[in-house]
Amino acid sequence: FKGQKPDICVSGINHGLNNSINVLYSGTMSAAVEGAIEGIPSVGFSLDNFSHDADFSYCRPYVISIAEQVLANGLPKNTLLNVNFPQTPGFKGIKICRQAGGHWVEEFDERIDPHNRDYYWTTGKFVLQDRGEDTDSFALANGYVSVVPTQFDMTAHHAIPELNSWSFDHLGEKISSGKREK
């Protein structure tokens, strides 16, 4: 690029969803985050299909349209898009939504590798804790492509005032709003 930035960073299409908390585990989204950190409008795309012969072709018009919208309109600073496609074609449309709350209940299968050594394979079940109709999980379950504006500043800003009320006097200095006082 000889000193110039790309116009857009597109990552994916990933096998499997990156909705809800899964965005934190995603290499696809990590690549898009790296683009956004560099100030490049970035989008991560994922399809709800793990099959080795998954058909991604029906996502193409949506990928092109979303990329064209990003190029035409840009994205807010420090924001990227997390786009997920339902497993079956015939989408009802696109929903701009928020990330659903959920978590994984992990289990581990003990297995034997080809060299007769034990190893463990992480498995588990995703537990959706958020039934909101404005979430990515709801959109996907109802046949919509979900688009979640995502940020990489994971600061829990709402928690800062509470944490600033904690006492650290026993340490010899008080820490308040990131400043040390004697």
How does pLDDT run across 89-107, given as a tens digit for each residue? 999 999 999 999 999 999 9
Cα–Cα distance measured from residue 77 to residue 170, given in angstroms and rounded to the nearest whole number: 40
* 132: pLDDT strictly greater than 90: yes
Taking 70 as the threshold, does the pLDDT of residue 180 lie above it?
Answer: no
**Domains along the chain?**
9-155 (3.40.1210.10)
Region 58-87: mean pLDDT is 97
* pLDDT interval class at 182 (50, 70, 90): low
- pLDDT band (50, 70, 90) for residue 36: very high
Mean of pLDDT values over 114-130 = 92
Model-level pTM? 0.85
Q: What is the pLDDT of residue 179?
A: 61
Please report the sign of the dihedral spanned by the C-alpha atoms of residue 123, residue 84, residue 27, residue 158.
Answer: negative
> How much is the pLDDT for 173?
57
> Cβ contacts of residue 129 below 8 Å, gap of 6+?
100, 101, 102, 103
Listed in sequence order, the DSSP H helices in 114-177 are: 136-141, 160-164
Predicted confidence at residue 37, as pLDDT, reads 96
> Mean pLDDT, to the nearest integer, of 51-77?
96
